[in-house]
Structure 1
Amino acid sequence: MELLVVCVALLFSGSGGAQETPYEDYMAQLKACPKECRCPPSFPNAVYCDNKGLKRIPVIPPYTWYLYLQNNLIDALSADALRNATQLKWLNLNRNKISNEGLEEGAFRALPNLVHLYMEDNQLTSVPSPLPSTLEQLRLSRNRISKIPVKVFAGLGRLNLLDLQGNKLQDDAVTEVSLKGLNGLVQINLAKNQLSSMPPGLPPTTAQLFLDGNNIEKIPAGYFKGLPKVSFLRLNHNKLANGGLPRNVFNLSNILDLQLSHNKLTEVPFIPPGLEHLHLDHNKIKTVNGTEICPVSASSLAHYFEENGPRLRYLRLDGNEVKPPIPWDLMLCFRHLRAVVI
C-alpha cells in the first residue's frame, strides 16, 4: 500500500518543481467544496448545492464555473453572496423563494463572466437589475413579474434567449422602451401572460416568438415587417378570429412553423410558400378550399414545382368541423404534405 501511495505521488509530482501539481490542485478544490454541496471529480468546475433545503447560499469556491442551487429555500441574494465566484458562467436558482426585496442591488455585479442565469419559479415581481453584460440566456418563467424596468436590458447585446413565460405581464409592461437593448435576441417567450396585443419593439433579430396563452385578438397589418427573421411563431390559446388576421400578415420569407391552435378562426389563413408546419387544430373551421389558400395560382403551379413549390409538410386541423376526406385541390397545391390531421 505504501508503495502505491509513493507511485501516485510521483505520478502527480512530475519533475519535482515548485508549481502546484494537478493532484495538489484537485485536493485543494476538494477541500474548498462547501460541506452542504457536492463537487464531483469528473466535473471539477461544477458545484451542486441543489435539493438541500438551503436557506442561504454557502461560500462558493473561486474555481466554480457551474453552480446549481435549484430546489432550495433561498429567499435572498446579497451583494456578497457570490463575491468569490468571479469565474461563474452558469447559475441555476430555479425553484427558490427569491423576491425583488431579497435581491440586493449589485448582487450580480461580481459575476463578469456569467452567461446563463436561471431564476424560474421564484417570487420576482420585476426583471432583476442590473444584469451582467455577458448574459446570453435569461430564464425568468413562472414568477410574478408585472414590470420590466426601463433600460433593464441596456448593454445586454449578447442576450439571445429571454424567457418570461407564466408571469403577469400586461401590454403596458412590454413596450419598445422596456425591450430596448436586446440587439442580439433570437428567442423570446411571453407565453401565459396577460397580453391583449402583439408586443411592439421586438428586435429585428427575433427568430422565435412564443405568445401562447394570452388574450390577443388581432395582429396589425405589417406587424412583421420589422421582424424579417421570424421562423417559429406560436399563438396557440389566444382569441384570434378571421377579422384579426390581415390576409398577408404571415407572408414571411423565413417562417417555417406557425401555430394558431385553440383560437376562433373559421377559415384557413394565407399559407406562405416556405411554411412547413401549420397547426390550426381546435378552431371553428368548417371547410378547406385548397385553391383559395394555395400561395400560388393554378397556372403557376407547374413552374413552382420546378423550384420545389410550396413546402407545407404538416397540417393539423383536428378539433374543427372539417370532415374527411382531404380535399384534392389541397393535395394538388401542397404536394410535399406528409401528414394531415383531421
Structure 2
Amino acid sequence: MKTLVILSIVALSSATSLFENEFLHFLKDWDIWQQDPPQNTSDISQSEQITIPAPTADYRFFTCPLNCVCQVRVVQCSDAGFKSVPANIPKGTVMLDLQNNKINEIKEGDLKNLPSLYALFLVNNQISKIHPKAFRSIKHLKLLYLSWNLLPQIPNNLPTSILELRIDGNEIKKIQKGDFQGMKFLHVLEISGNPFDTTDIEPDAFNGVQRLMYIRMSEGKLSSVPKNLPSNLYELYLDHNRISSIEREDFRQYKDLCRLDLSYNKIKEVENGSLAYLPNLRLIHLENNIIKKVPASVKELKYLQALYLHNNNISKIEVDDFCPKESGMKKLHYSGISLFGNPVKYWEIQPASFRCVSGAHGVQLGNFKK
C-alpha cells in the first residue's frame, strides 16, 4: 500500500511539470513574456500586480464548453456559431478565443468567473453592446481584441491593466474623455476603420495614458492630423484618410516619433518646417497623395532612412531636396527613396541629389504614366 501511494505522488508531480511546460509554450507563442513591464512598480497596488498562478495537476478534469477546444488554460471557441458567450468556461482560463461567431452582446455575468484571463479575442462578431460591469472581475487582462464588430463607442470601464487594445472596424464616431481612464499601461491602440473625424477626438481623451507608443487611425474620416494624442508616441499611422495638408504645428508635440504613415490621403502641401519637429524620424510614408514637391524639412531629419514619395505630382527634384548642404548634418544615409509614379523627368535629376543615399539601388525611379 505504501508503495502504491509513493508511485501515485510521483505520477502526479510528473503531470504537474508537463502542464507547466505546455503553459510556458503558450505564453511564449503569444509574446506574453515579451511585454514591457512597468518601469516603476512602487505606485502599483497589490491588486494590480500580474500574478498568474501555475496550473495544478487536477486541471485535467475540467469540463470544456460544447463546440470548443480546451487545452491547458486555453479555450478556443472560434467559428462555432455562438450567439452568446458560452457558459462553463474553466475558471483558470488565461486565453479565450471567441472569434468569428455571432455574439451580439457581452452581458454583465459573461466573464465574471474568469479572474485569470490574460487575452480575450472577440474579433468578427456582431457585438453592439458591452455591459459596463462586464470586466469587473478581470484584473489582469492584457490583450483585448474587439475588431470588426458593431460597437458605437469605446466600452466603459475597460480593465486598466490592458497593454494592447484593438477595436478597429467598428462604428465609433467619437473618442471621449474617460474612454481610456486609468489605462496607464496601454502600449498599443488599433482604432482604424471607424467613422470619426479629427474634431471628434476630445482634447482630454488621452489624459493619463502615459505609455502609449503605437496608434493606428487608418481607413477613417480624419481631415487633419490629430494634435491631442499622447506626446510619447513612437509609431503613428494615419493612412487612408482625408487629410489635405500638413501644417507647421501638426507634429510639434510628437518629438519621439520614429515611424509616420500619411499615405493614401489627399495631401497637396507639406508646410515648411512641419517635419522639423520630428528629430528621431526614421521612416515616413507620403506616397499616393498629390504633393507637388519634396517637403523642405526632409533634409533636416538626421536619422531618416526610408522616404516614400511615389505616386504624387512631383515634377522636379532639386540638388538639395534630400541631402543637407553641410556634409556633417546627415547622421544616417537613406536606405531607400521611392519616386516612381511622379511626372519628374528622371534624366534631368542631378546625380548629386542622391549623394546621401547608400547603395546603388537606394532610389526607385520610373516612367510616369497617367
Into which bin does the TM-score normalised by the smaller protein fall?
0.7 to 0.9
Whole-angstrom CA distance in 2 between matches of 1:227 and 1:69: 36
Whole-angstrom CA distance in 2 between matches of 1:8 and 1:321: 81
Report what 1:197 is aligned to: 224
Report what 1:54 is aligned to: 82
Whole-angstrom CA distance in 1 between matches of 2:93 and 2:268: 51
Q: CA RMSD in A?
A: 2.5
2:113 matched to 1:84? yes
Residues 145-294 of structure 1 aligned to structure 2 (within 5 Å): 145-242=172-269, 245-251=270-276, 252-270=278-296, 271=298, 272-291=301-320, 293-294=321-322
Q: Normalized against structure 2, the TM-score is what? A: 0.80
Report what 2:28 is aligned to: none
Which residue of 352, 356, 362 corresponds with 1:329?
352
Distance 1:6 1:290, change over 3 A: farther
Residues 78-117 of structure 1 aligned to structure 2 (within 5 Å): 78-100=107-129, 103-117=130-144
Structure 1 unaligned regions, length at least 5: none
Q: Deviations over 1:7-28 (max 9, x none)?
A: 984642469xxxx998994454
Which residue of 317, 333, 342 corresponds with 1:320?
342
Whole-angstrom CA distance in 1 between matches of 2:250 and 2:359: 29
Q: Which letter does structure 1 place at the counterpart of 2:66? A: K
Structure 2 unaligned regions, length at least 5: 20-54, 366-370
CA contact (8 A) 1:174 1:200 kept: no
CA contact (8 A) 2:336 2:357 kept: no
Whole-angstrom CA distance in 2 between matches of 1:122 and 1:8: 52
Q: Normalized against structure 1, the TM-score is what? A: 0.86
Whole-angstrom CA distance in 2 between matches of 1:313 and 1:21: 49
Name the % identity: 28
CA contact (8 A) 1:212 1:238 kept: yes
Moved more, 205-214 or 28-37: 28-37
CA contact (8 A) 1:273 1:312 kept: no
Which residue of 169, 193, 213 corresponds with 1:142?
169
Deviation at 1:31, TM superposition (A): 2.6
Deviation at 1:132, TM superposition (A): 0.6
Report what 1:72 is aligned to: 101
Q: Deviations over 1:79-101 (max 9, x none)?
A: 1101111000100000001003x
Runs of 4+ in 1 over 3 A off after TM superposition: 5-11, 20-30, 323-327, 333-338
Distance 1:189 1:258, change over 3 A: same
Whole-angstrom CA distance in 2 between matches of 1:129 and 1:319: 46
Deviation at 1:175, TM superposition (A): 2.9
Whole-angstrom CA distance in 2 between matches of 1:80 and 1:199: 37
CA contact (8 A) 1:135 1:158 kept: yes
